[in-house]
Structure 1
Amino acid sequence: MADEKHSAVAPAVDATHNEASEVPSKPGSHQDITIPPPRPPGWMYKGFKVFGHELWYASPLFQLLLVAVVCFMCPGMFNALSGLGGGGQVDHTAQDDANTALYSTFAVVAFFSGSIANKLGVRLTLSFGGLGYVIYIASFFSYNHNQNHGFVVFAGAFLGVCAGLLWTAQGTIMMSYPTEDMKGRYISWFWIIFNLGAVIGSLIPLGQNINKVAGPVTDGTYVGFLVLTLIGAFLALMICDVDKVLREDGSRVIMMKNPSWITEFRGLFETITSEPWVVLLFPMFFASNTFYTYQSNDMNGSQFNTRTKALNNTLYWLAQIFGAIIVGYALDFAGARRSIRAKGSFVMLIVLTMAIWGGGYAWQKDQPTREQTSEEGFVTVDWTDGAKKYVGPMFLYMFYGFFDAAWQTCIYWYMGALSNSGRKAANLAGFYKGLQSAGAAVFWRLDGLKKPFDTIFGATWGLLGGALLIAAPVIWMKIQDTVALEEDLRFSDETAADVAGAEGAAAGQAAQPETVAVGAHGGGSETAKAVV
């Protein structure tokens, strides 16, 4: 590769014949050839502008929006139901046991789901994943009539298998499809649409139970959730597989051309053994869903009446949308280098963890105990109880939602900053969801064992603070301003010509052994260079 950059005239590529014209050059000199990105013909590649970026069916943006709608319908409805406390039931035992089973199977399956997604493709992985949410919602609908505890627990365990696959496919799309300069916004856009599902899903029980202050939610609540999850599971079949996706600059997502079960399970362990410091992020992964237990069951589900916890639930997910917008766009702020943004986001997480959970402690220490809330005749809080009794905890619950969005958005952005490879992103997403689910299983079990509210609160807050301390070296030292294309290609059997698209391959063959600039392939930089 030449040490200095020589100017060159870009080859004109005929989209019909896929041939590059001759490029003027100095005899004996090396040069950078810029490959223009004409798109293959066909309906999948015809679109319009959204968010200032071209949108067509096989574009990263359309695929992100489609997977966001799937998550709007499936996990969004799950979150809306869970946020009611007890899955909408007065007795939380069925949901505690179901969620313990859910997150236990989720933890095991998700750890290997990156390899499964890489082998089967994101479309099949995502579509199978959506089925579990349908069965889970149906089990609570059934429970409302027959109290079939076993069906609810089975549905939770089956959903764990499905959710492990769905969230790994989603993470692969969100982290590896955008260029480096767009990753924060892609995460933000996904989180907005996904949490709109929880907001709208929360409005269903709020409307159904507007005059209800006690008892389980109505059948209509479960039917509404069930219809929406069915639609989401069907939409998952519309997702493109990774090899069909083409960015605006003509580049493609780095994957394995010829994956096998052996190569993918080997790649799973190579993700850790090649960069063992990534395990320092694991406590952040583990902690990232533990707070739902305290927030949904021990705070919202136990201290407020039916209609008020439905309102709290709506405000919680609405706050997540604002959190995703603010944090996602800040992570893509062009006025600072990516390594600086990583450090700034880490400081922000420390401040939010201490401030919001410190405020939570000030509220929690004066609240009734678990035993008191279980006594017959215990009076829960209603939204008409005034500023002192309700407005304060209402805003606290909204800040908890904002914190959740900030924590999850930053984790996804950190993982996306470590690699632009779709294959590695799938494995990292699998590790993330697996450990996240293990943490959730532990805390749902603690709630099922009726541990004191103060104990669960303290364990959650302490875990969050400790996870940040352990993750500090990775965030502070390992996140660089860009990831070189050559680095990502080491984790694949593809070449620079493969990921530059057909036009890049043709130009690369003509240019050998020259250096070929393949555009911002996952990089967001002006040129990403590799010897073809």
Structure 2
Amino acid sequence: MADEKQVMATKEGDAPVTATAPADPAIRPSGWMYKGFKVGKNEVWYASPIFQLIMVAFVCFLCPGMFNALNGLGGAGQVDTSAQTDANTALYSTFAVVGFFSGSIANKLGVRLTLSIGGLGYCIYAASFLSYNHNQNRGFVIFAGAFLGVCAGLLWTAQGTIMMSYPPEHKKGRYISYFWVIFNLGAVIGSLVPLGQNINSIVGPVTDGTYVGFIVLMLLGAILALFLCDAGKVQRADGSKVILMKNPSWWTEIKGLFETITQSPWVLLLFPMFFASNIFYTYQLNDMNAAAFNTRTRSLNGTLYWSSQIIGAVIFGYALDYSKVRRTVRAKASLIALAVLTFVLWGGGWAWQKKQATREVVEDTAVPFVGVDWTGGGDAYIGPMFLFMFYGFFDAAWQTCIYWYMGALSNSGRKAANLTGFYKGIQSAGAAIFWRLDGLKTPYNTMFGATWGLLGAALVFAAPVIWMVIKDTVTLEEDLKFSDETLRDVAPTSQLPVGKEADV
């Protein structure tokens, strides 16, 4: 950097600290994209945390966003939901295994390559249902689900690492909401495609064109991931960098996986919340949307469901970053809000569910079941429509809070990757179990009760961590205990402790 000058920074009671600042303020990080700051020899204007997060959000817009739109149709657009149920059981089973180790993989390969490899599985998943429309090849659908589980484990771990470790502490909630808004816009727009193509369809699977559209968009997402910059080049507005491990090996990453637990054993209390974070999709998408509504209404419901997630993410994301209230107070308030939502919303859901047709009636092949249409009126459609929308709001609130809790526990990119790996692995284990229960034709009422009960129990287990472990800030020194980085590697010179500007 040209023409640097020495400045003196003094703190009360301390000796002067020598720091380095650029003479020309025009090349300092500024603005929401930090246009013009230096990385190596080139100006990489897109290397700011916010721009990198937006790029990741668009990757997820095109890959898991479209996957959510496809699954939001119920049965991935098929009349018989059993093929999609088997595929999702395979998906979340492999996801659960890969998820535990995907943090180590992301730390070794880097988030850019990990994210791109992860995106490829989504294309194959959508292609398997296009194939199924013509040849009923269930084996290919199940294989595609299992392969997507491997890829999704990689993609979501890379995404979580970026979302939790790139932002400054006081902006983590809103960064999570930015991601969730863009990501769910993918599901909203993805739901509008089948809604338009199936506007006159009362029965039958969705059209081939729907699946082709999903395949193309998912492929674009995998390609977009290659244009991210490496985590080591990302720099925040205050000059600090993301904490990474120098020259990580497979052994150091496997060791780090266990250190996450041994150094922070309280994280085990968050595991039930991780486990419960995707189990509600089985009931909501298959046992409510696919079971109670006809083809075109399912498409409309999917659009409303993912739109409601955007609202939930914005409200909770900004509330979690409300700077006039201490972070510890915000954490406790969010737990109380989740508890109220869980018991009020799911209590109302039970009042609706207990009046619905049983699985035996809905899936009786001798007498085809015709679901409710959007023209059904207040009691038949409007009430459950709003219930389904609030389920989407609840999903975003739950997921946003989990990411925020993990981000509040550490600012280290390395530790964030391992935490996310645990999160996605355990989350997927829960999803695999519930998709399997659905495949075994478990009664709808039982699926509802098991989902609601686990959500409530998860909040009880997580309460001690949220109440006592989350602090108002996490010091740099505390994060560096988990890495072989030094203060010099991650902190701006002006923020180094006295006497540390030359010896770290």
Shorter chain as normaliser: what TM range?
over 0.9
Alignment of structure 1 residues 138-157 onto 2, 5 Å? 138-157=127-146
Whether the aligned pair in 1 keeps the contact of 2:9 and 2:18 (CA below 8 Å) is no
Q: What residue in structure 2 maps to residue 316 of structure 1?
A: 305
Structure 1: unaligned runs, 5 residues or longer: 1-14, 517-529
Alignment of structure 1 residues 59-208 onto 2, 5 Å? 59-208=48-197
SS in 2 for 1:23: strand
SS in 1 for 2:322: coil
Distance 2:21 2:231 in 1: 21
Q: What residue in structure 2 maps to residue 418 of structure 1?
A: 409
Cα pair distance change 1:208/1:173, threshold 3 Å: same
Distance 1:442 1:240 in 2: 37
Distance 1:308 1:24 in 2: 64
Give the CA deviation at 1:366. Answer: 0.5
Cα deviation digits, residues 369-416 of structure 1 (max 9, x gap): 000111323231000011111000000000000000000000000000
Distance 2:73 2:209 in 1: 15
Whether the aligned pair in 1 keeps the contact of 2:7 and 2:18 (CA below 8 Å) is no
Alignment of structure 1 residues 464-503 onto 2, 5 Å? 464-500=455-491
Cα pair distance change 1:34/1:287, threshold 3 Å: farther
Give the CA deviation at 1:365. Answer: 0.4
Q: What residue in structure 2 maps to residue 260 of structure 1?
A: 249
Distance 2:24 2:360 in 1: 65
Whether the aligned pair in 2 keeps the contact of 1:357 and 1:461 (CA below 8 Å) is yes
Distance 1:436 1:163 in 2: 12
One-letter amino acid matched to 2:499 = E
Structure 1 residue corresponding to 2:258, chosen from 253, 256, 269:
269
Cα pair distance change 1:437/1:512, threshold 3 Å: closer
Q: What residue in structure 2 maps to residue 403 of structure 1?
A: 394
One-letter amino acid matched to 1:411 = I
Distance 1:377 1:340 in 2: 53
Cα deviation digits, residues 236-266 of structure 1 (max 9, x gap): 1111111011111111000102211111110
Give the CA deviation at 1:91. Answer: 0.5
Cα pair distance change 1:491/1:222, threshold 3 Å: same
Identity of aligned residues (%): 71
Q: What residue in structure 2 maps to residue 16 of structure 1?
A: 2
Whether the aligned pair in 1 keeps the contact of 2:6 and 2:18 (CA below 8 Å) is no
Distance 1:371 1:477 in 2: 47
Distance 2:282 2:23 in 1: 50
Distance 1:401 1:197 in 2: 14
Cα pair distance change 1:110/1:24, threshold 3 Å: closer
Distance 1:118 1:92 in 2: 37
Distance 1:377 1:162 in 2: 37
Cα deviation digits, residues 318-377 of structure 1 (max 9, x gap): 000000000000000011000000000000000000011001000000000000111323
SS in 2 for 1:426: helix
Q: What residue in structure 2 maps to residue 521 of structure 1?
A: none
Give the CA deviation at 1:514. Answer: 1.8
Alignment of structure 1 residues 200-279 onto 2, 5 Å? 200-279=189-268
Cα pair distance change 1:531/1:477, threshold 3 Å: farther
Give the CA deviation at 1:95. Answer: 0.5
Whether the aligned pair in 2 keeps the contact of 1:37 and 1:249 (CA below 8 Å) is no
Give the CA deviation at 1:41. Answer: 11
Whether the aligned pair in 1 keeps the contact of 2:5 and 2:22 (CA below 8 Å) is no
Cα deviation digits, residues 47-99 of structure 1 (max 9, x gap): 854799x9931110110000000000000000000011111001111101100
Give the CA deviation at 1:40. Answer: 12
Structure 1 residue corresponding to 2:439, chosen from 448, 460, 463:
448
TM-score (norm 2): 0.94
Cα deviation digits, residues 140-176 of structure 1 (max 9, x gap): 1111111110100000000000000000000000000
Give the CA deviation at 1:32. Answer: 4.7
Cα pair distance change 1:306/1:22, threshold 3 Å: closer
Q: What residue in structure 1 maps to residue 359 of structure 2?
A: 370
Give the CA deviation at 1:16. Answer: 1.1
Cα pair distance change 1:39/1:350, threshold 3 Å: farther
SS in 2 for 1:368: coil
One-letter amino acid matched to 1:279 = L
Cα pair distance change 1:377/1:25, threshold 3 Å: closer
TM-score (norm 1): 0.89
Cα deviation digits, residues 106-137 of structure 1 (max 9, x gap): 00001001011001100110010000001001
One-letter amino acid matched to 1:442 = I
Distance 1:171 1:531 in 2: 33
Structure 2: unaligned runs, 5 residues or longer: 38-43
Distance 1:474 1:206 in 2: 43
Cα pair distance change 1:513/1:29, threshold 3 Å: closer
- Report the count of equivalent residues: 495
Indicate the RMSD between aligned Cα atoms, in angstroms. 2.5
Cα pair distance change 1:512/1:308, threshold 3 Å: closer
